[in-house]
Structure 1
């Protein structure tokens, strides 16, 4: 086999491959062996026809087609491997010359993983962020815990900020009730910012038994397009006003929150939890900063094929996120100031896709540079962990028996180990 490589661009190559009689004869033997399995020849059982006999009974045209297919498939794989080229797609093959049993010349064109010139990965500037937990951080958690044990007492006075108001309300736009704008016996904490501006303030000062109207305006950036900036009127009936009283912060309260004998123990435990969380966040932030810095200092051409894949992934993730929040792509584009979807792709999605692709290529090269690998034992342990996590969903757990999933998991593990090594190299 003779191979010549022509570089079409930084990310595309075209291989010209020539095979001689030896390669074609070997491909013919493979083709005959395969065709003989289904051949019916008098005197032989199906599947037991010798290759020498099969050669006299097969369709010559069908045989040459199979020979060519076998020869090209094997040669393409070997040629890319021999030239140390990693194709990112199935190569496009075009036969230029074919003389049965003598010679075949063809081209194989494909997008390949481009060469990467790594920046100095041992002297990056990003440093870990110092973790500090203030008394205010602890107090905020304690206040949220107190909310879980709040005492409610009905009062006859006018509603004040901080009270809970039990209300019925109907919202109307242009005199017509709109979807999601009505409820009965709704418990609303005044001052919590749960409703649009002006609603909670409008309830303050009213007493149980009163019915009143609130003329309000939805924010211009409201997620529902039909209500964004709209003037509406809410008819509200106030049924009950509850005064909310937080439990006293004492040893008795601490005991309700867990195995604590006093407030000091409770606060110490909360501080430890916050510290652990902040340290975890600081470590993840450092990883992101180091990867971004290394990517910026490295040089690599970005294959459009990979960018397109990431663009699709980014769009799918966004659509899913918007769906969970009850929003549409059009409303998102409008509130974020994009003219249309193409404008969003150009200004937001494509830059993000390019960063992802570059970081992925750089980390893949770094893993080779550092010799990072994942053993079969490590992979099996990770797969076992995943299976235990999804054990209740048999269909989902079964996915982890797929070799392709194994490969994806191994690649993710190699990436994680590479980033950990990057952190280690820049923490000395």
Structure 2
């Protein structure tokens, strides 16, 4: 077998492979022998069909099958011989594909980039430090109460925070428009659920009142037919209900699975959850900074094939997330290209850190992570057991732990500054990078 390799770009390789005719005929004959042992031909007993008949009937198909298998196997032999690491399936172009002649074909493909991860010495990381104070627990209790607010009908003018039950009909230039009308809609004033001006115009209404309001749709409204236009809504108020916060009692605690310990027991459980959230938030922000630093310090060219595969994954995720009837391949690739490149590059860099520092998942940390996740459930041991009986889920946890070990490896050499902040600041989501 003859092999020659040409570099057509930094990552693309054009490999010409020649396979001797003798090897092709050996493979063809092998398939014909296999066919002869089982072929059923009228006038002959099974296994007794003359080879001349077998060749006449089946040689063309056997040759096509042999050539396909030879291309696959010789390509693999060639990349092993040339010590190449393809980043996707090759595009194969036959040059000589004739009976009795050597097979010659060209395989064009990309390889994974070879690089050394840049030094971590200049990486700067800000690591937040925070505690859960009693006042933070108090605030969380208020949030939980508000999330479980009930409403009671009142006979007074509506205020912000009240819930209205309304019917409304919207019109543009005197004509009703699609999606502009509804009946029996529950609306909390001040929630920002409706377009600007709609809720404000209903402050002060009473049950049974009809009010005409004229809010304006935002200039960037998703429906371009309505964007920037002023509509007229006739709103009928069916009821006005005031918010009522639940009491901190056993019935409320039971909503969260807390049946013993009263208020102190509930506060203890809430604090545990807040501390867990705090640890995860701090860890996540450090990890994001590390990953950003790895991306910035390793501007490596990425294979187009990997980017294309990642775009397809992102398309599928988008369709699944939004439940659209559109097919994934109908979404423009350009929408996902930058994010796909970023994810591919980050994957390559992280993999190189793992390889360079010979990292393997720390099984003690894997178990610790599973136990921490399981602690949020009523029967944690069952959750731990479930993870260890499911290879896919266990593999995902191992991948997360391995990423954490990559972060730890970077932090050992990076310049890390600790910053004391409040609980609220620590758990506040970080702004997403523009490239994402």
Q: TM-score, normalised by structure 1?
A: 0.72
Pairwise CA distance, 1:58: 1.2
Q: Secondary structure at the match of 1:270?
A: helix
* Aligned pairs for 1:4-83 within 5 A: 4-20=4-20, 23-24=23-24, 26-37=26-37, 39=39, 45-46=45-46, 48=47, 54=51, 57-59=54-56, 62=60, 68-83=67-82
Aligned to 1:424: 408
Aligned to 2:111: 112
Structure number with higher relative contact order (C-alpha < 8 Å, ≥ 6 residues apart): 2
Inter-partner Cα distance in structure 2 for 1:243 and 1:41 = 88
Pairwise CA distance, 1:234: 1.4
Inter-partner Cα distance in structure 1 for 2:264 and 2:395 = 46
Q: Secondary structure at the match of 2:268?
A: helix
Structure 2 unaligned regions, length at least 5: 371-390, 413-436
Mapped pair 1:204 → 2:203: yes
* Aligned pairs for 1:15-414 within 5 A: 15-20=15-20, 23-24=23-24, 26-37=26-37, 39=39, 45-46=45-46, 48=47, 54=51, 57-59=54-56, 62=60, 68-87=67-86, 88-96=88-96, 100=100, 103-120=102-119, 124-126=123-125, 128-133=127-132, 137-147=136-146, 150=149, 152-249=151-248, 254=253, 258-318=258-318, 321=321, 345=334, 349-371=336-358
Inter-partner Cα distance in structure 2 for 1:289 and 1:316 = 28
Inter-partner Cα distance in structure 1 for 2:291 and 2:165 = 51
Q: Secondary structure at the match of 2:214?
A: strand
Gap change, CA 1:138 and 1:45, over 3 Å in 2: farther
1:255 and 1:261 in contact (8 A); partners too: no
1:126 and 1:290 in contact (8 A); partners too: yes
2:216 and 2:229 in contact (8 A); partners too: yes
Gap change, CA 1:246 and 1:17, over 3 Å in 2: closer
1:171 and 1:234 in contact (8 A); partners too: yes
Q: TM-score, normalised by structure 2?
A: 0.71
Gap change, CA 1:26 and 1:416, over 3 Å in 2: farther
Q: Indicate the larger mover: 55-64 or 268-277.
A: 55-64
RMSD: 4.1
1:32 and 1:55 in contact (8 A); partners too: no
Q: Secondary structure at the match of 1:217?
A: coil
Aligned to 2:428: none
1:367 and 1:415 in contact (8 A); partners too: no
Gap change, CA 1:277 and 1:33, over 3 Å in 2: farther
Gap change, CA 1:225 and 1:67, over 3 Å in 2: closer
Structure 1 unaligned regions, length at least 5: 328-340, 383-405
Inter-partner Cα distance in structure 1 for 2:282 and 2:94 = 53
Inter-partner Cα distance in structure 1 for 2:395 and 2:269 = 37
2:28 and 2:59 in contact (8 A); partners too: no
